[in-house]
Copies of this chain bind each other. A is one copy, B any other.
């Protein structure tokens, strides 16, 4: 059932406690949403715990440093920024069919929760949670503001992408007027600071890019061997997918990352008019119109690339 802010408020105010699930391969938005919501629940005197199937990368320490929360058998299960239970990793089996509230901004949300606060036009799940807190009149702590800002900034490419709403800018302005937060430092940590390994990977990126379909499609594939050679971790890949659409004339860019042999995580980006959410749905995934993803398994890299080229060719036809 889709609900609005008022019903979401009623639900949250009546929680005794909650587990908040974030998606696997956690990013700034789901971590910001998880830990931001935890702060808001704490203001209401409700204990909660943030869980994730993968570890939170260390560059998000400034959000996770309040602690994920003690272990307890929860009465309430909330999912944030998760379009599909299969993105919950190991928590799918534990909580997948018990999600009471989902707060999400993915148009591809499969409506798996009892109640879903879905705002498909919101920049980020964090934008929805900020507005929900304002709606509820709950105090947003400085730490909570840092979390929610980070989610909005990371999902919008720092206010760069088409998904950036006027509201996202208004929230940033409100936060800059209300809190003594070093936003530039957050942005630097999210978008600029790189490890040497990441810089080396980026420097090789131009050679990884293969052009297809009259150069309208670019695919860059990073294999496990390559990652081992450069010495780069899987969690240093965030923000790499947009590099696939930086060449003039590119319409769709795909970053293929080998997760394990014959298992590929594919991140799609659209430069302008092609809807990559639809393409990814045809490949068993989902996401937003301009940023989506899917997994391709049980085949070679070459076969995975061929599948992608065919799916994009069809979508562009």
Residues on A lying within 8 angstroms of B by beta carbon are 157-162, 164-167, 169-170, 172-174, 176-177, 182-185, 187-188, 191-196, 199-200, 202-207, 242, 245-248, 271-272
List chain B residues, Cβ under 8 A from A184: 160-162, 164
Nearest residue, chain B, Cβ from A209: B199
Which residues of chain B are within 8 angstroms of A174 by Cβ–Cβ distance? Answer: 166
Residue from B173, B196, B247 in contact with A166 in the complex, judged by beta carbons closer than 8 Å: B173
Query: Whole-angstrom distance between the alpha carbons of A161 and B187 in the complex?
Result: 7
A165-B194 Cα distance, complex, nearest whole Å: 25
- A242 and chain B: residue at smallest CB distance: B192
Q: List B contacts of A204 (CB < 8 A).
A: 203
Complex Cα–Cα for A164 and B200 (A): 30
The smallest beta-carbon distance between A298 and chain B, in angstroms, is 33
Verify A195–B248 contact, CB threshold 8 A.
Answer: yes
Alpha-carbon distance between A202 and B207 when the two chains are bound, in angstroms: 12
CA gap between A245 and B193 in the complex, in Å? 8
Contact A187 B166 (CB under 8 A): no
A191 to B156, CA, bound (A): 14
A271 and B206 contact, Cβ closer than 8 Å, known pairs A172-B169, A195-B248, A247-B193: no
Say which residue of B170, B185, B205 sits within 8 Å of A173 (CB atoms).
B170
Extra 6 A-B pairs, beta carbons < 8 Å, given A162-B183, A194-B246, A203-B207:
A158-B158, A159-B159, A160-B187, A160-B192, A169-B169, A199-B247
| Distance in angstroms between the alpha carbons of A185 and B270 in the assembled complex | 12
Query: What is the CB-to-nearest-CB distance from A291 to chain B, in angstroms, rounded to a whole number?
Result: 12
* Closest chain B residue, CB of each to CB of A178: B166
A167 to chain B, nearest CB (A): 7
Residue ID in chain B nearest A185 by CB atoms: B272
Cβ–Cβ contact B206 & A205, under 8 A: no
> Contact at A177–B166, with CB atoms within 8 Å?
yes
Question: Quick one: given A203-B205, A205-B203, are A192 and B158 in contact (CB under 8 Å)?
Answer: no
Cβ distance A111 to chain B, nearest Cβ, rounded Å: 28
From B162, B172, B203, A203 is in contact (CB under 8 Å) with B203
Q: What B residues does A192 contact at CB under 8 A?
A: 160, 242, 245-246
Q: Which residues of B contact A169 (CB under 8 A)?
A: 159, 169-170, 172-173, 176
Chain B residues with CB under 8 A of A160: 158, 184, 187-188, 191-192
Minimum-distance CB pairs A-B, first 8: A162-B184, A169-B173, A166-B176, A166-B173, A169-B169, A160-B187, A159-B159, A169-B172
A191 to B246, alpha carbons, bound, how many Å?
Answer: 9
Q: Which residues of B lie under 8 Å from residue A164 when comparing CB positions? A: 176, 183-184
Instruction: Tell me, in angstroms, the Cα distance from A246 to B200 when the chains sit together.
Output: 12
